[in-house]
Amino acid sequence: MQNDPRSHGLWERTAPSAPPTQPLAGDIKADVVVIGGGFTGLSTALHAARDGMNVAVLEGVEIGFGGSGRNVGLVNAGMWVMPDAVPAALGADYGERLLALLGEAPRAVFELVREHAIACEPETQGTLHCAVGAAGLDEIARRAAQWQARGADVHLLDAEETAAKVGSRAYAGALLDRRAGTIQPLAYVRGLAQAALRHGARIHTRSPALATERAGAGWRVATAGGAVTADWVVVSTDAYGSTPWPEIRAEQVHLPYFNFATAPLGDDLRRSILPERQGAWDTREILSSFRFDRAGRLVFGSVGALRGTGAPIHRAWARRALARIFPEIGDVAFEAEWYGQIGMTDDSLPRFHKLAPNVIAFSGYNGRGIAPGTVFGRQLAAHVAGRIREADLPLPLTPPVEARLRRLKEAYYEWGAQFAHFADARL
């Protein structure tokens, strides 16, 4: 019922236990069967169950096994791409609708946390997107202007203000996004599961969906131990997807991302580094992110996979990089380490698919899945309940298309990050 601390690191060690769940045994009926127990699937399940629907969730491994249990925990508003690039890519209707929805998405997360009393260390003081050099400053200035034109509560900080908020002079400025914040992600996804169960959803873990077939107007989804027959199928497997819809995995390029957690820092360091507890990341192409957990551990991450030669290279780099950003931290030890795969799409935007009649999926979050997955799940539930038309969902319907040069790009991300972090030792 738990994930492995070797794959889920600090989050597995500090999250409340997952609610008890069992593999599916036998054949059951539901209004909607959700495949995948992450933010998207469990938010769908919670909202659909709250609407009075009969919901069954099939999770191949454990709750939060995928990106939802391994991420940094930055509850962001918006996507990686610049706000103006969203309507440029999707058209004005979809673009502005998506921006409006994602702009309020962190608030939706924190409201759910409050409403269901989810113990997931919420911090609501915002996030800091830290500018590296003049190019970084230009990027965040444009981003701030584009959000401010839409009335968002974002602020451009100069170098002095940034140094006070970050506790480091490494940055030329920062974009403070007061809509955003941080959570303990595995605790949050387990809390969503607990809330969905309380509203009557059934959650079956260690129950990978293996095959689907038509059953009247609905579908029969088979696992090794039984099957769910339902009117609707919601596929929420994102970057961790496997059978029976491999096209969801194939439309994404996997970007590996690791995190290291220090031991709880001393009082002086906790007062000087991120004193207001914002979550932070920088504008570098191979970016770094850092945030505190509630116990005062600094969680520091960047691009790369902690396997093979990658593990020692990234570990040594993380020590050096932390000491450069926060010289007073000294030679820090790490208590936990883990990594996961981020699903990137060719245009850095998520996708909405109808894989067959009444089979729907959101995926491809490009490293922004906590708040978007939560609100997309809410919208999927409303769509299944007949309250939101397909055309009113936040993204246009597209067919899954295999990502260009997928394997080459995946190798480039993994080896490129190793090379960059190794070469950095010689700077």
Ligand X SMILES: Cc1cc2nc3c(=O)[nH]c(=O)nc-3n(C[C@H](O)[C@H](O)[C@H](O)COP(=O)(O)OP(=O)(O)OC[C@H]3O[C@@H](n4cnc5c(N)ncnc54)[C@H](O)[C@@H]3O)c2cc1C
Number of residues located near ligand X, criterion CB under 6 A: 42
State yes or no: residue 22 binds ligand X (CB under 6 A).
Answer: no
Give the whole-angstrom CA distance, residue 424 versus residue 296.
Answer: 28
CA nearest to 279, candidates 40, 109, 89, 101: 109
Under 8 Å between Cβ of 412 and 82? no
Phi and psi at residue 267, to the nearest 5°: -60, -40
State yes or no: residue 35 binds ligand X (CB under 6 A).
Answer: yes
State yes or no: residue 38 binds ligand X (CB under 6 A).
Answer: yes
Minimal distance in Å, beta carbon 240 to ligand X? 4
State yes or no: residue 381 binds ligand X (CB under 6 A).
Answer: no
Which position among 143, 314, 368, 383 is part of the footprint of ligand X (CB under 6 A)?
368
Interface segment toward ligand X; rule CB under 6 A; list 61-69, 108-116, 123-131, 419-427 = 61-69
State yes or no: residue 257 binds ligand X (CB under 6 A).
Answer: yes
State yes or no: residue 191 binds ligand X (CB under 6 A).
Answer: no
State yes or no: residue 36 binds ligand X (CB under 6 A).
Answer: yes
Asked whether the bond before 83 is cis by omega within 30 degrees of 0, the reply is no
Minimal distance in Å, beta carbon 54 to ligand X? 19
State yes or no: residue 122 binds ligand X (CB under 6 A).
Answer: no
Q: Which is nearer to ligand X, 190 or 319 (CB)?
A: 190
The single-letter DSSP state of residue 210 is -
The token pair that represents 373 in the structure block: 């997955």
Q: Which residue's Cβ lies closest to ligand X?
A: 369
DSSP for 24-49, written as a single string = --EEEEEEEEEE--SHHHHHHHHHHH
267-302 burial, b if ≥16 CB within 10 A, otherwise e? eebbebbbeebbbbbbbbeebbbbbbbbeebbbbbb
Ranges within 201-220 binding ligand X (CB under 6 A): 208-209
Q: Which is nearer to ligand X, 136 or 185 (CB)?
A: 185
The token pair that represents 241 in the structure block: 């997807």
Minimal distance in Å, beta carbon 229 to ligand X? 16
Distance of CA 269 to CAs 278, 296, 297, 319, Å? 15, 9, 10, 16
Interface segment toward ligand X; rule CB under 6 A; list 44-52, 132-140, 234-242, 416-424 = 234-242
Ranges within 294-333 binding ligand X (CB under 6 A): none
Give the whole-angstrom CA distance, residue 236 versus residue 33.
Answer: 11
Q: Which is nearer to ligand X, 36 or 386 (CB)?
A: 36
Q: Which is nearer to ligand X, 116 or 145 (CB)?
A: 116
State yes or no: residue 167 binds ligand X (CB under 6 A).
Answer: no
CA nearest to 310, candidates 383, 232, 384, 417: 417
State yes or no: residue 181 binds ligand X (CB under 6 A).
Answer: no
The single-letter DSSP state of residue 69 is G
CA nearest to 421, candidates 239, 252, 257, 253: 257
Give the whole-angstrom CA distance, residue 320 versus residue 328.
Answer: 12
Q: What is the SS3 assignment for 70?
A: coil
Give the whole-angstrom CA distance, residue 84 versus residue 82.
Answer: 6
Give the whole-angstrom CA distance, residue 31 versus residue 43.
Answer: 16
Query: How many residues in total does the chain contain?
Result: 427
State yes or no: residue 334 binds ligand X (CB under 6 A).
Answer: no
Q: Which is nearer to ligand X, 39 or 334 (CB)?
A: 39
State yes or no: residue 65 binds ligand X (CB under 6 A).
Answer: yes
Q: What is the SS3 assignment for 229?
A: strand
Give the whole-angstrom CA distance, residue 147 versus residue 128.
Answer: 14
State yes or no: residue 78 binds ligand X (CB under 6 A).
Answer: no
Interface segment toward ligand X; rule CB under 6 A; list 64-72, 97-105, 125-133, 386-394 = 64-72
State yes or no: residue 76 binds ligand X (CB under 6 A).
Answer: yes
Specify the amino acid at residue 309: T
Minimal distance in Å, beta carbon 288 to ligand X? 12
State yes or no: residue 21 binds ligand X (CB under 6 A).
Answer: no
Minimal distance in Å, beta carbon 133 to ligand X? 23
Minimal distance in Å, beta carbon 267 to ligand X? 26
Ranges within 336-355 binding ligand X (CB under 6 A): 339-342
State yes or no: residue 290 binds ligand X (CB under 6 A).
Answer: no
State yes or no: residue 95 binds ligand X (CB under 6 A).
Answer: no
State yes or no: residue 237 binds ligand X (CB under 6 A).
Answer: yes
Give the whole-angstrom CA distance, residue 228 versus residue 301.
Answer: 39
Minimal distance in Å, beta carbon 60 to ligand X? 3
Which position among 212, 236, 288, 379 is part of the footprint of ligand X (CB under 6 A)?
236
Write out the residues near ligand X by the rule CB under 6 A: 35-41, 58-61, 65-68, 70-74, 76, 208-209, 236-243, 257, 339-342, 365, 367-370, 373
